[in-house]
Structure 1
Amino acid sequence: MQHCLILGGGLSGKAAERLAVSLGFSAAVLSDSPGLDADAAVAPADLVVTSPGVKPLTSPLWQAAMRRAARGECEFLSELEFGFRHWPGRVLAVTGTNGKTTTTELTAALLSAAGVDARPAGNIGYPLSDLAADLREGKLSAEALPVVEVSSFQLERCDTFAPYAAALLNLESDHIDRYAGGFGEYAAVKRRIFDRVAPENRVYGLSMDSPSPRRVTLCGEALMVDGDEVLIDLGDTALSAPHNRENLAAAVELCLRVLPAEAVLSPEFRLAVRTFHPGRHRLEAVHEAAGVRFVNDSKATNPASTVAALRSTPGMVVLLLGGLDKGMDFSPIAPFADRIRFAVLYGECRSKIAAALPPSVPTADCGMDFALAVGTAREHARSGDTVLLSPACASMDMFRDYKERGDRFTEYVRNGAEP
């Protein structure tokens, strides 16, 4: 019996364990801990599957597995690769620094409206290994089409992952703390999504150069298909903001790889575009009081996301920034100084953000006190302003995840947090 060792016990680790057991492997889940002999721990494994949250530069288990794999003593795969190897059908994939989740959800929703059994999966919260296990257990039809959100972490240990079509939405500064080679290495890992994708099925976001002609383009407020067919007026959708135009264009491009153009131009497909709304924590209006809007954009975990939020938010902004640093460059926020009435800084990397803002932006350092940060933002807002939580950072210095951070913000603004 093959022995499978899974590194990391989160959602991906549990999914890999479930799939391994369904395949008849003996399986164990292990995480780094003080005093653990990593080389001895990985020695019995024929196969090591790593969760995306395990960091190559700092994990003794990851490094021990890498050494063992380099000697040819075991296979060492990402959970994404493991799930893909045991999925018999086609897969669509979406990556990029920003917009992955919305584009994945949107692609699946549009395909479903066209009669395809599309399943959002991957980094979105339902690992591909879980879908593969569902199929083996008879809980899912072989006709299902996974639409997989893919992070750079998941691509690191892939060597056969071959989506039928894939989208690379954009590349911005993020997760630089994970890659010794900095942004160049991060971007190269992201581009691996295309390694085994036919050139005509490689979709690039509108902000990127595309080596192949685009089938979906913008003409003013109209989204066009194949040059002369108007799919929809963006003003009739919840996707008219610049970043969501990019997400919608990529989603429709992916749909055109598995649907005929007439299906994409059908009334059912158009209705699905018109009625789709991005998920929570993405420029989510959560409260209004005394003429001040409060917007939860907690999903903005890098500076490029915050820039997109500022571009999409009219008027003056009181901006909440801070959280866990990932080695990112915060300078892209500086050109919006004339739009930022006040910046409220909190969390681990607040000093680094403060140094990146021009002196013309008044700031408050609220330390690790998020309630104080929200109350301070409320205090400095004027009628007509937007209090915008768009942190430009990960959340795990103070919260479980971006969802908890957004929920806490919503709770505080609705209940009147005071500084």
Structure 2
Amino acid sequence: MKLVILGGGESGTGAALLGKKLGYEVFLSDKKNIDEVHKAILVKEAIPFEEGVHTEERILVADLVVKSPGIPDTVPMIKALQAKGIEVISEIELAGRHSDAIMICITGSNGKTTTTLLIHHILVQAGMDAGLAGNVGHSLAAQVAENAHPLYVVELSSFQLDGMFRFQADIAVLTNVTPDHLDRYDYKFENYVNSKFRILNNMGKEGLFIYGYDCEVVRQRVIGQKLLPQAVPFTYGGEPDLQQAGGTACAYMEGDTIVVRLDEKVFRMDKNDVSIKGRHNVYNAMAAILACMRAGVDPGAIAAGLKSFPQVEHRLETVAVVAGVTYINDSKATNVDSAWYALDSMTHPVVWIAGGTDKGNDYTVLYELVKQKVKALVCMGVDNRKLIENFSGICPVADTHSLEEALAAVQKYACEGDTVLLSPCCASFDLFKNYEQRGELFKEKVRQLK
């Protein structure tokens, strides 16, 4: 079988390794340059590859194609493959076809990375052999090929879900769905919602589907259809109407106590004992508790994992306190909903740094929070007009076009006791390679302020 892989990053290289182990004739093609780490793996394993070009004669003869999630279905090469009837799948789909492991899968517009890492942390701390894969950790295909585990915790983006067809999650988590990546979905929110709900594909009645009840889009979709897996809601409110919610299990709040009911077991924990703070992290904790309870983790081990979980890099990560001002790196907040939760969790006056590549954002949902919490907005982007138009009547706004300019502007507004919050609301691609680079550079520059 001829296996062609498009994209030479983590997922593509992992797919190549699995393809080689399966005895396929593997060829990898990346239209950009392949980084040195992954190129060295391909060379070592004697896997043929090309970079800087896609050679049609070598690609269109494939029996099966695995494409990077970053490649849209609309590009000419994918259209050409589809026209020839060649199957195009994701690396996750390839790995799933060759693994019998239990799959705990997490998706959502916001919270999926923290929830994924939290579930994995609890499982490992409890002594379970669990792999970490998808958007975080190492390639699932590479692990199936070289370092197989009986259980995987897999973070799934909508792009990865779009390339999954026979893959089946045993435990699925959908945190929420808010407008994001609409440029990949014909600017139709419904298309993006449909993509997220693909996490339910192939799940049977023995599966567990954990969903964010407080997200109206998700709640209405779940209530409006008959699902095969057990559907379990989690909410920041009181115990939901379980008959309406579609099940007999749930997670909810009793004052400051997180209460989780599943499989005739009850778990209770004070939210203040969870190491990561804020309402959004209560949601993440609830989803993680439900998943770990179903995976068979002892309640004491779940509580211990929740107490010992470290901060997630680039997600409300405290960087430093300089002259009494706390600097927080929330670079992973690339959409409005993420920024909402970040601002909601702030307890001191905020100098807010936002901006980047706008993805069709509607900022109106932030107005009330900005009135309550933000003493100044520092815009950081190539084109800040939309942010300026939305917030200039609510708080002072500074227009800056680099990280250095932004931090200089921050000094004019931030006083002892304030918080400087980098929570951009936007993608990073106008000034930075990705949100990780944006966060790393922010931390580096802040530490130089001392």
**TM-score for both structures, normalised by structure 2:** 0.83
Cα deviations by residue, 1:67-100 (Å, 9 ceiling, x for unpaired): 223xxxx221111111111112221100000111
Residue 121 of structure 2 is matched in structure 1 by 109
* 2:80 match: 64
2:317 alignment counterpart: 284
C-alpha contact 2:321 2:327 (8 A) present in aligned 1: yes
Give the aligned partner of residue 213 of structure 1: 248
Indicate the residue corresponding to 1:53 in structure 2: 70
- Greater mean deviation of Cα atoms: 235-244 or 329-338: 329-338
How much does 1:106 deviate? Answer: 0.8
Alignment of 1:189-204 (within 5 A): 189-198=195-204, 201-204=208-211
SS in 2 for 1:288: strand
- Aligned partner of 1:123 in structure 2 is 135
Q: In the alignment, is residue 355 of structure 1 matched against residue 386 of structure 2? A: no
1:403 aligns with 2:440: no
**Pairwise CA RMSD:** 2.2
Match of 2:157 among 148, 151, 156: 151
| Aligned position for 1:344 | 378
Give CA deviations for 1:265-295 in whole Å, capped at 9, x if unaligned.
Answer: 23x3321111112311111111212321111
Alignment deviations for residues 247-281 of structure 1 (CA, whole Å, 9 cap, x no partner): 0111111112221xxx4323x33211111123111
Task: Quote the residue 2:331 is aligned against.
Answer: 298
- Residue deviations 1:209-248 (CA, integer Å, cap 9, x gap): 3432333322121122328844321112223410001101
State the one-letter code of the partner of 1:86: H
Q: Which amino acid aligns with 1:344?
A: V
Match of 2:289 in 1: 252
* TM-fit CA distance, 1:358: 5.0
CA offsets per residue over residues 134-160 of structure 1, 9 Å max, x none? 2xxxx335xx20010000000112110
User: Which residue identity does 2:374 align to in structure 1?
Assistant: I
Greater relative contact order structure (CA < 8 Å, 6+ sep): 1
Cα distance in structure 2, aligned partners of 1:230 and 1:201: 17
Relative to the length of structure 1, the TM-score reads 0.89
The alignment partner of 2:388 has SS state of helix
Look up the SS of the partner of 2:102 in the other structure: coil
- Equivalence for 2:425: 392
* 2:293/2:299 contact within 8 Å kept: no
Count of matched residue pairs: 400
State the Cα distance separating 1:349 from its structure 2 match.
4.8
Query: Structure 1 regions of 5+ residues with no counterpart?
Result: none
Most deviating of 405-414 and 148-157? 405-414
Instruction: Report deviation, 1:356.
Output: 2.8
More deviation in 94-103 or 231-240? Answer: 231-240
- Residue 140 of structure 1 pairs with residue 140 of structure 2: no
Corresponding residue for 2:92?
Answer: 80
- Report deviation, 1:37: 7.3
Corresponding residue to 1:269 among 302, 323, 326: 302
Query: How far apart, in 2, do the equivalents of 1:349 and 1:13 lie?
Result: 34
Seen in structure 2, the aligned counterparts of structure 1 residues 176 and 224 have a Cα distance that, compared at 3 Å, is: same
- Structure 1 residue 198 displacement after superposition: 3.1
Partner Cα separation in structure 1 for residue 54 and residue 140 of structure 2: 30
Identity %: 35
Per-residue CA deviations over 1:23-79 (Å, capped at 9, x if unaligned) read: 11122222347996775453211111111111223x22222222223xxxx221111
| Amino acid in the other structure paired with 2:211 | Y
